[in-house]
Amino acid sequence: MGFSKLKIPKICEFCEKPFEAKTITTRFCSKACADKSGKRQKQLQKAAEQKQSILENSKNKIVEIQTRPYISITEATILFGISKDTLRRLIKNEIIPAHNFGQRLTRISKEHLEKMFTAVEIPKEKEAKPEKLNYTIEDCYTLSEVSDKFGANPSTVSSVIRKFSIPKKQVGNFVYVPKEQIDKIFAGK
């Protein structure tokens, strides 16, 4: 098995400190950063699952709330995703009309909340059609040139080309790849 002498300057995805990677796929500067990143991902996933379960549990309540013209502050937080403090501040400043029918019986007009907090529609992005890149042979490296220039094993170069979907062009016995894209990848960008 070959040993790569690559030293690729990269930035750690967790602590954002610069380091020299020995492979193209290295993402973290140390095992500690990799472990911390994994823990953070698990926490985010757990939070998303909890949010989804709360949404599933309150689905029937949301349907019921949507049919009534006046709702409580708690129901407004569920329906519109606004904090209770924000709603109370808007009521106090008389921006939203509310009726107080006793202790913990404040009701807000759902119509006013809908006008104030309407959903903003984000325009859908048009799918970009991949452009076929036309590179001349002068703008390309051969695989052996890439291997020599960056001190990488030819199999490593081939796997990097496959991984990043770099277009290649075969002319005779030589395979050419664009200099611009190879330089970006091996420069750690």
Sequential DSSP letters for 17-66? -EEEESSTT---SSHHHHHHHHHHHHHHHHHHHHHHHHHHHTHHHHHHHT
Q: What is the largest CA-CA distance in the chain?
A: 87
Domain of 28? 8-53
Q: Do residues 41 and 73 both lie within one domain?
A: no
Q: Do residues 16 and 46 both lie within one domain?
A: yes
Q: Do residues 108 and 64 both lie within one domain?
A: yes
Per-residue pLDDT tens digits for 100-139: 888 778 899 888 888 887 654 556 666 655 555 577 888 8
Task: Tell me if 130 is assigned to some domain.
Answer: no
Decide: pTM greater than 0.75: no
- Strands 174-178 and 169-171, how do they pair? antiparallel
Q: Which CATH number fits the domain that encloses residue 64?
A: 3.90.105
Q: Which CATH number fits the domain that encloses residue 157?
A: 1.10.10.10
